[in-house]
Amino acid sequence: MRIAQIAPLMESVPPRLYGGTERIVSYLTEELVRMGHDVTLFASGDSMTAATLVGCVPEALRLDANVRDTIPYYMLMLDRVRQQASNFDILHFHIDQFQFPLFRNIANRTVTTLHGRQDLPDLKPLYIGFSDMPLVSISNAQRQPIPGANFAATVYHGLPSDMLKPQFNPRGGYVAFLGRISREKRPDRAIQIARSLGVPLKIAAKVDRVDESYFREEIEPLLSGGGVEFIGEINEQQKNEFLGEALALLFPIDWPEPFGLVMVEAMACGTPVLAFRCGSVAEVIDDGITGIVVDDLDQGIAALPRVLALDRRAVRRRFEERFSVNRMAKDYLAVYRSLLKQPLAPESQDEAAPLAPALQGEVALLANEIVTDAAKGLN
């Protein structure tokens, strides 16, 4: 099958550091290539892949200090995808909904994986207006705010089975928090749980610019009380040791997390998870096997000793059963084949002729002006 994977441009594929969506795109792309499919990856030029790479910007946009507005780069990328669309059986988008207007005429040859939260009110009219664009959710919980959207399937994320080595006898003596410092990730809860039980906590997390004040004013003062070590952002090579040597992962979120990839990364290391019941958590965690799901801070403090006692070999086995990249790739191939069997919706039957190059540029400029004006109106 000829497959195009269209990735975000903020990070490379795979990302050098933090970047869950780009990581999943990388795992899926490489597994599809390994399975013998003809895959083209549209991504930043500094990406690394066994697929055919179409570099749509020289490097990840987050690394370019000159980038102020990302929309023009996505418009240019979509123009390249449109020009090459006839070369592929399926176009698999991972960039939210930018592509909907341009590819509606071939809706059954596209699929969009929704990687972010969907409980924002502005999204509801979008999915109503583009009800013929097939979607994939990454958890059933992610669908709840938009139950009428055109979902083709739910496909849970998967990891290469040999990427993270399990550690069945950890020597670190600490519990871990891994991800991003932000209010909805609740690192303060992790600190409270660890300190309440006298267990050392290590925090490996990035601090985005928008979260700097939250980190400085609310989290940094908590670090001086002892028993908590802030490591900062870590890379893939450091992640195995950090998670594998941890007694448990703390995942004390307070938002509708669409999936929570770090929980699966911990499971791959054999590390059990203490997680709060939000978003997809109850779907990802097998309660009492790979971790324990709690509803509040008091329950979290009470449950941690039981989490530490879970069988790490059983944690790893359940990861292999549920969250391998091979399973994820097979699930997506089933989605692709199902979509290709479907006829186009009546409003999409007339195949739109490719726009002339000059007109393509005008459309891209107009789209950018609309989005920019809307953004100004929100400020």
Domain ranges of the chain: 2-158+325-378, 175-322
Q: Quick one: DSSP state of residue 41?
A: E
Same fold? 2-158+325-378, 175-322: yes
- Residue carrying structure tokens 């950018």: 368
Neighbour count for residue 273 (Cβ, 10 Å): 26
Domain 175-322 maps to which CATH number in 3.40.50.2000, 3.40.718.10, 1.10.150.80, 3.40.30.10? 3.40.50.2000
Which amino acid appears at position 13 of this protein?
Answer: V
Higher-pLDDT residue of 358, 236: 236
pLDDT in tens, 337-364: 999 998 765 554 444 434 444 444 444 4
DSSP string, 121-152: TTHHHHHHHTTTS-EEESSSGGGTT-TTS-EE
Contacts of 353 (CB under 8 A, 6+ apart): none
pLDDT of residue 236: 79
Q: Tell me what the mean pLDDT of segment 93-116 comes to.
A: 96
Strand order, beta sheet including 151-154? 52-57, 38-44, 2-6, 90-93, 110-113, 135-137, 151-154
Topology of the domain comprising 2-158+325-378: Rossmann fold (3.40.50)
Is the bond preceding 221 in cis, omega lying within 30 degrees of 0?
A: no
DSSP-based three-state secondary structure for 273: strand
Averaged confidence pLDDT in the chain: 91
pLDDT in tens, 149-159: 999 999 999 99
pLDDT in tens, 7-63: 999 999 999 876 789 999 999 999 999 999 999 999 999 999 999 999 999 999 988
Percentage of the chain exceeding pLDDT 90? 83
pLDDT of residue 237: 84
Letter string b/e over residues 148-185, b meaning 16 or more CB atoms within 10 A of that residue's CB? ebebbbbbbbbbeeeebebbeebebebbbbbbbbbeeb
Report pTM: 0.87
C-alpha 176/C-alpha 170 separation (Å) is 12
